[in-house]
Structure 1
Amino acid sequence: MKDDYHRQQVDIGDEQEIHLRDYLKVIRKRLPIIIAILVLVALASIVKVFTAVPIYSASTQVLVERNYGTRGLSQDYYRYEPEFLDTQSALIRSVNVGRRVVDKLDLTGRYRSLFIPEREERKPSFLAEVKKTVKGWIKNALSFVLSADKPPTGVAGMDGELPEIEPLTEEEMFARMVSGGLLVTPVPNTKIVSISYSHTNPVMAQMVANAVVQAYMDEILEIKVATSSYQLQWMTAKADQEREKLERAERALQQYMRDNDLVTVENRLSVSPQKLTEFSSQLSRAEAERKEVEALLAQIREAGDDFDKLENIPVFAENKVLKDLREKTYKARQNITDLSKKFGPKHPTMIKAQEEIDNLQKERRFEVQRVVSSTQNAYQLADSKARNLQELIDETKSEILDLNEKFIQYSILKREVDSSRMLFDTLQTSIKQEGVTEQSQSVNIWVVKEADMPMAPSHPNKRRTVLLGIILGLFGGVGLAFLIEYLDNTVKSEAELERRYGITVLGSVEMLGKPEDHIESYVVRHPLSPLAESYRLVRSSLLLSSAEKPPGVILITSMMQEEGKTATTINLARILAQTGKKVVVIDGDLRRPRMHTLFKMRLDNGLSSYLTGNSPKPAIVPVPGEDVALLTSGPKPPNPAELLSSKKMVELLQSLRQQFDFVLIDSPPVQSVTDGLALSKIADGTIVVVRFGKTTYELLNGGLKKLADVRGNILGFVLNGLKQRDARGYYYGYTSTYASDDKKA
């Protein structure tokens, strides 16, 4: 049983599908609350409508757009400004515009009585006195807090006392009233702004609405003039500073040009690169020539004194003198060869021919030596030429660097002069432009529609206010009804009981409508009433609660007092006895017994007498005029829980099972004492009586847990005290039928 109970508790918090009929049921149940809230709110709205002071509203429309001027004077001729109308709307509602309206209409003088109507002095109401008293308390409390937080005298940076706040003047208060009563609304997707003003006097509403437009235009123009004047002053002072700065820069540039002779700097700076280029070309050729001569000298040195190798060098081979000497030597040698055939070596002709060859060899050696000397001189000349050109290039580079440094400094000074001149010219142009546009407005304003005198009040709208009050009252009442229903955690339906705990509801018992109808005897006096039929349904469910046979010993209990367990016990016993069953009722409530009172019997001898041994056998007495027997509780014992859980109580129930078909035990509430828990352990089953709209789920959770802990067998619930409007549907239409039959009987 305990495990089943805990398993059933898992689904308690599961969401349940809510149908429309459930909402309608809640509304029907809480209908008096809904009607009361509806009536109260509707009456309040009606009273408010017919007691409120009528308010008249006058509206004017103006076209507001940015003045971009001409293209020549303004660079941003078109510019997207999404916040423009919002800015202008805030400016219209400003206190400055309100002051201009007050001055223009002379609201503090001529039209003061129209702007603030004088009312007859009357004694303040009780509510006004209370408000005045509360405000005084708040003011005193704030004064105390400020005095407590005031810094002490002598603290550095503090004067010691807070400055007093000067009260607003009447003109300032009227200006704030005007600005606070304005309603400025930009018309969507246009540049038109609607300006509305509401007042109790329609004439004043029209006058203020029209005066606001002119005050707004004057404010825009004053802002423009003030801004232009400030800009002109600033730009003029800035232009004077830039003029002085430009003059200093020009003088510095002129002095630098004079000191560094920069008149010819640009010409020299353009010629020097050309000279450097020419010198570089000549140096390249000179170095090539030097390397060529140097290579030739290396070949000559390598050949040494070998004239044959020297003559193979191109400079020697191509020498014309050496060519002639080689030809002459060749011919002389051919001549000696020819002569040697005729003469001997010592012949004068041969000697002369040999001398000719020797002379040619001398000339050859002389010419070779001359070419070598010439080559050496050419190398020295080429090397000297290359060194001279390198020196010229270095001098030219140094000169160019010096000129560049001077020119860079010159460019810096010239750039400063140009920048100062440009800024000065820009300021001069801006000053001229601002002077031209000083008196023009930055915002163009045209009145599209002037305010007309309102003929009917705009507030309150009686029909709309009453209708809104009815709607709010209806929704407020329904909302309050559902809130109360949500906060109501009591048992209100069979379906919810079965869903939460998985325990069968044996039946529901309707509450009797009249106080004088006693439920304990109503079944006897009205056997065909719906109440009797509800107990018959409980009997049928009880007889079908077990597969083999119905439980014989049944404990009937509840969570708390006054939930109807005693009445349920009596009426269920009578209904069971109508089927011919033998039924005995035991008053198991030894602390606060009621059975003897209801059946008008004595309490001298009863259950407590038998359990304590003061009576040899239980005093079971038939109820006069009924087929039910009763065992009263007897005198109140000091230890009822011990008596009910004793072995003798078990034996008594075993004995009664043999004598009666049903034994019904009325026990104390489970949440009050443990008597019912002791009896639930020895009974065949327990019926838990639940009071509609009284028994809470918290109590039921705790009581069922206690019964589960002692392994009590719960047969089901009996939902008691069901109101007639909530009982519809439980009896499937039997209410009207049985009521009519009962009246006939």
Structure 2
Amino acid sequence: MQDDFLESSGREGGHTDLGETLRSLSHRARLLLQSYWWILLLCLSIGLLVQAVRVKSMRDAWESSAQLIIQGNIEIQEADRLREVATNFHDNQLHLMTGQWVSERASERVRALHPEIQKDWVSLWAGRKGTTDIFQLVASGGNARYTQAYLAQIIQAYLEFRRQTRLETSDDVMLSIGEELRELDVKIQQIQEAIRRFQQENNTIAIKELSEKAAGRLSELKTRLEDYRTQLRILESFDENVSLDQIQDVVNLDTIESSQNYRNTKRQHQQLLAMKEQFGIYLKPKHPRMMDIEAELEILSNRIRIFRAQAFGQIEEEKSALRNRIDTLLPEINKWEEEVIQYSLGVADLETMNSNLSRLLSTRESLIRRKERLDIGRNVDTELISVLVPATSAVLRQVDKRREIAKGGALGLGMGAAIVFLLAALNNRITSADDLRRMFSSKVIGLIPQTKAKITVLRKEADDVFAESFRALRSSILLHRQDSKEPRQVFLVTSCAPAEGKSTVSSNLAVTLAYSGAKTLLIDCDLRRGHLHNKFGIDRDPGLAELLEHPEMDVQDVILVGDQELGNLSVISAGRPQENPGDLFLNERMDAILEACRKQYDFVILDTAPILAVDDTIGLLRRADDVIFVVKSGQTNFRQVKISLERLSVTKTKVWGFVMNYVKAGGNDYYYYGRYKSYRYQHKESGDSGNEEIRKKTGRLSPKEK
């Protein structure tokens, strides 16, 4: 599959013109305002209305302010004070200041201390001053004296609440410590009593000595047992192939008659073997001397076998003795293990009780010290929060209704802007040529502006922006044809979906080419819903459908020859509507038709069906020299174009260029045509070119009328 689209916005290198960027941003902003202006207006109205309702209920108020600060306090050596929880400390204090208990307590204090002041409405606001440890309190009310007095008593009630909380918490801690001390005293007495009973029933010193003695004896017996087992494993590893020398290295063989006799016999045997080998060089085996040596060797070998049998017998006796020793040691070891366990349990119980007693005594001492520190801390002011600025004299604050309403309007406008930008972010429609250049590799070859006039086919004398855009598109095609090494005659015009201006582009492009003197043929290849015949005021049939179905028909039978104003333009209509026109396009008949058209015309423009609507256009793609893709500004989205290009890539067809249709005036792409508009003659409305008017003006007749 060819890569017909690029998902990179930084595809084109080089320097970016700041003016172009600003114009692009300005264009996008204007499009957003044109599409969603009503959202801004609606949100602005809602904001103004809501704020107007709020302002109506607002009234002038007297304000008094005060400040509290969190600061360090005197550290008492070993004083265990109540510590504040740092988590959400500021939020908790603000909630406490504005809480119901503090408010009710403040009202009662004002009524008790200032009975002459008449009670009035009052509200309280509390907040943190930036990121500092300063709390800002503001009271607003209908009476100046009552507002100031209320705020002052709010502060006193708040500080009083904190003091009571600390005292209550300290009392709770003291009670808890006292309860723990009583429980510890009971446990300590129980352990001390258990230790005394154990010492009365057991001689602790004798138990420790017996435990150490039993442990030493047990270790000695286990060492001896391990030695016996090691010797037994070695003896059991000897087999029939082991030599007496290897056995003698491990086992004492002095009991086998005489170890010296074995060594002498073995040495004589080795000497005779050496003599046999030496005499065997020049004596035959039957020689008397050799026979004597063989006889002596046989005697010595028998003697060695006797020694070997005696050695293995001694090994078996040794193995049996070792097994007896092991069997004797095992019961004794078990007995000493039981004694060691018994002594150890007694010692362990005593040590456990002593350890528990030490731990409980240490805990008791720690609780006593903590209780003493709490007694000291209760008599010292440990308040972290103090008054920085007392309640000030109340000042009258008048409500600025205009300002408040303006705030509501600004808030509503801001919400509307946020909604608009959210909708813009979710909108993936193509609104400018820059969007096409940024997302796809094919170039933009034409920009067709939006026009209020209902122009069906361009007049030759038309000099407005709409006509100029098609002349620019014609120039792009002529230059492309001139620069191309291969002939470029057949241009296929298509789009993603219906109602994107594809037929308008193809028909006016063909007209513009014809005005330049080039023989041009426009073929309506949309055999389902083609309507080029309406634009030129001709009959629908016979047309391309009949030409494809009837091989005996010639191209000239369905061509409408142009003359006079439309110059060298010829048109082939779609013909009767077909159910499966894609099958007709796959026929070799289409190749023959296009080949004949190539010989007679300079340009052949194929107006095809939309890519995403039907599959008819696929059969024409390879027959065209270039593909022109029409995109309607503000309607076609990126996903539609991407899917369309993927379908084209199946046939290995690449779009030569995009034509941006319905470009709105004032947009970034329209900027250059706007410059042209100020340069050309005064704009003239071309009016409505109806079908009958064209036919009368040009004298063009359909094949039936001929």
CA–CA distance in structure 2, aligned partners of residues 614 and 447 of structure 1: 104
| 2:500 matches 1:563 | yes
CA 567–739 in structure 1, closer or farther in 2 if over 3 Å, else same? farther
Give the CA deviation at 1:551.
1.8
Cα deviation 1:384-415 (Å, max 9, x = unaligned): xxxxxxxxxxxxxxxxxxxxxxxxxxxxxxx9
Cα deviation 1:227-282 (Å, max 9, x = unaligned): 77778889999999999999xxxxxxxxxxxxxxxxxxxxxxxxxxxxxxxxxxxx
**Which letter maps to 1:31?**
L
Cα deviation 1:646-667 (Å, max 9, x = unaligned): 2222112222222222222211
Larger radius of gyration: 1
Check conservation: 2:64, 2:395, Cα contact below 8 A: yes
- Say which is worse superposed, 592-601 or 602-611, in terms of deviation: 602-611
Aligned equivalent of 1:709, options 645, 650, 656 = 650
CA–CA distance in structure 2, aligned partners of residues 713 and 239 of structure 1: 92
**Which letter maps to 1:663?**
V
CA 743–736 in structure 1, closer or farther in 2 if over 3 Å, else same? farther
Cα deviation 1:35-89 (Å, max 9, x = unaligned): 55554454444444443233744323467878759x8xx7659999896995876
Give the CA deviation at 1:481.
4.1
**Which letter maps to 1:733?**
R
Check conservation: 2:521, 2:572, Cα contact below 8 A: yes
CA 224–620 in structure 1, closer or farther in 2 if over 3 Å, else same? closer
| Number of the residue aligned with 1:54 | 58
| Number of the residue aligned with 1:249 | none
| Number of the residue aligned with 1:539 | 474
| Number of the residue aligned with 2:677 | 735
Aligned equivalent of 2:109, options 104, 107, 115 = 104
- Say which is worse superposed, 50-59 or 694-703, in terms of deviation: 50-59
Give the CA deviation at 1:455.
0.9
Aligned equivalent of 1:28, options 24, 27, 30 = 30
Check conservation: 2:117, 2:145, Cα contact below 8 A: no
CA–CA distance in structure 1, aligned partners of residues 371 and 600 of structure 2: 128
CA 462–82 in structure 1, closer or farther in 2 if over 3 Å, else same? farther
Aligned equivalent of 1:588, options 525, 538, 543 = 525
- Say which is worse superposed, 627-636 or 96-105, in terms of deviation: 96-105
Check conservation: 1:27, 1:478, Cα contact below 8 A: no
CA–CA distance in structure 2, aligned partners of residues 428 and 35 of structure 1: 73
| Number of the residue aligned with 1:655 | 596
Check conservation: 2:128, 2:136, Cα contact below 8 A: yes
Check conservation: 2:50, 2:408, Cα contact below 8 A: no
Give the CA deviation at 1:463.
2.8
| Number of the residue aligned with 1:524 | 459
Q: Secondary structure at the match of 1:24?
A: helix
| Number of the residue aligned with 2:489 | 552
Give the CA deviation at 1:474.
5.4
Check conservation: 1:35, 1:477, Cα contact below 8 A: no
Give the CA deviation at 1:185.
4.5
Give the CA deviation at 1:30.
1.5
Aligned equivalent of 1:196, options 138, 147, 151 = 138
CA 733–111 in structure 1, closer or farther in 2 if over 3 Å, else same? farther
**Which letter maps to 2:543?**
G
CA–CA distance in structure 1, aligned partners of residues 179 and 415 of structure 2: 69
Matches within 5 A, 1:18-417: 19-32=21-34, 36=38, 38-52=40-54, 53-54=57-58, 56=61, 57-61=63-67, 92-93=97-98, 95-105=100-110, 181-183=124-126, 185=128, 194-199=136-141, 205-219=147-161, 222-223=164-165
**Which letter maps to 1:29?**
L
CA 77–530 in structure 1, closer or farther in 2 if over 3 Å, else same? same
Give the CA deviation at 1:502.
2.2
**Which letter maps to 1:59?**
S
CA–CA distance in structure 2, aligned partners of residues 429 and 742 of structure 1: 104
CA–CA distance in structure 2, aligned partners of residues 235 and 80 of structure 1: 17
Check conservation: 1:671, 1:703, Cα contact below 8 A: yes
Give the CA deviation at 1:97.
2.7
CA–CA distance in structure 2, aligned partners of residues 62 and 699 of structure 1: 64
RMSD: 5.2
Identity across the alignment (%): 24
CA–CA distance in structure 2, aligned partners of residues 744 and 235 of structure 1: 102
**Which letter maps to 2:103?**
G
Check conservation: 2:496, 2:640, Cα contact below 8 A: yes
Q: Secondary structure at the match of 2:492?
A: strand
Give the CA deviation at 1:431.
11
CA 245–478 in structure 1, closer or farther in 2 if over 3 Å, else same? closer
Count of matched residue pairs: 505
Residue segments in structure 1 that go unaligned for 5+ positions in a row: 118-177, 247-414
CA–CA distance in structure 2, aligned partners of residues 667 and 422 of structure 1: 100
CA 77–642 in structure 1, closer or farther in 2 if over 3 Å, else same? closer
**Which letter maps to 1:100?**
R
CA 219–543 in structure 1, closer or farther in 2 if over 3 Å, else same? closer
Give the CA deviation at 1:220.
5.1
Cα deviation 1:415-435 (Å, max 9, x = unaligned): 9xx99999999899989979x
CA–CA distance in structure 1, aligned partners of residues 366 and 502 of structure 2: 104
CA 47–206 in structure 1, closer or farther in 2 if over 3 Å, else same? farther
Give the CA deviation at 1:594.
0.8
Check conservation: 1:511, 1:721, Cα contact below 8 A: yes
| Number of the residue aligned with 1:493 | 432
Aligned equivalent of 1:508, options 447, 458, 462 = 447
CA–CA distance in structure 2, aligned partners of residues 744 and 557 of structure 1: 26
Q: Secondary structure at the match of 2:605?
A: strand
| Number of the residue aligned with 1:171 | none
Matches within 5 A, 1:672-687: 672-687=613-628
The TM-score normalised by the length of structure 2 is: 0.58
The TM-score normalised by the length of structure 1 is: 0.56
Q: Secondary structure at the match of 1:556?
A: strand
Cα deviation 1:607-649 (Å, max 9, x = unaligned): 2222222863232122475222222222234442222222222
**Which letter maps to 2:406?**
V
Give the CA deviation at 1:214.
3.4
| Number of the residue aligned with 1:664 | 605
Cα deviation 1:528-583 (Å, max 9, x = unaligned): 11111111111111112232475222222222111112111211111111121222
CA–CA distance in structure 1, aligned partners of residues 39 and 506 of structure 2: 42
CA 503–462 in structure 1, closer or farther in 2 if over 3 Å, else same? same
Aligned equivalent of 2:576, options 635, 653, 669 = 635
Residue segments in structure 2 that go unaligned for 5+ positions in a row: 189-357, 688-706
CA–CA distance in structure 2, aligned partners of residues 421 and 637 of structure 1: 104
Q: Secondary structure at the match of 2:636?
A: coil
**Which letter maps to 2:536?**
F
